[in-house]
Amino acid sequence: MIYAAEFFIKEPNTTQIVSMHQDLTYWGLGAVDGLVTAWLSLSPATPASGCMDFVKGSHKNAILPHTDTFDQNNLLSRGQEVAVDVAEADKQAIEIHPGQISLHHGQTIHGSGPNTTNDRRIAAVIRYCTPQIGQKSGATDYASLVRGTDRYNNFTHVPAPAALFDAPSLGLYQQIRDAQARVMMKGAQKSTGLYN
């Protein structure tokens, strides 16, 4: 199933970063193996343009405590940062080029630096999950079946949009976003503006 699809765009010569974090921290899905992010590079992702840095083997950790920084310079919803010191030597920059993907587990510690180049750094991110996992907070959660059969019914199935920007699909998108934001922003003292 596709759990989420989004763009991570850094404009040329900007300071925005993604702090080191584990994706599963605030998603309400628990510590699960059944979720992987495919990060598709649509422009060169290099150390200079702010490619992702990963901590090798870090997916074997539990979900670690995170601190909300609410830093406007951070592309994450609450500016969350893993509350452990990650040594520079433990970060592995993964340089990839248009058409290539990297895959990361939901507990892998990762982040990225600023884009210091004259080109946009653009990634299309697709988060795939197995139907066995599901929202643990009790809230309704959503995913799109892309192959096989869902025998678990943990997610409300999202159909493909009937047409580009058609009103019912946009309405459903807003409903999904609101539901996921409520889980993701639970307990947050404020917002970085990504979710109201």
Ligand X SMILES: O=C(O)CCC(=O)C(=O)O
Chain residues that interact with ligand X, rule: CB under 6 A: 8, 18, 23, 37, 39, 52, 110, 112, 123, 125
CB of 140 to ligand X, least distance (A): 23
- Closer residue to ligand X in complex, CB, 43/169: 43
- Closer residue to ligand X in complex, CB, 112/135: 112
CB of 115 to ligand X, least distance (A): 9
* Backbone region of residue 130 per phi and psi (left: phi > 0; alpha: psi in -120 to 50; beta: other values): beta
Taking the C-alpha atoms of residue 72 and residue 83, their distance in angstroms, rounded to an integer, is: 19
CB of 129 to ligand X, least distance (A): 13
- Closer residue to ligand X in complex, CB, 18/32: 18
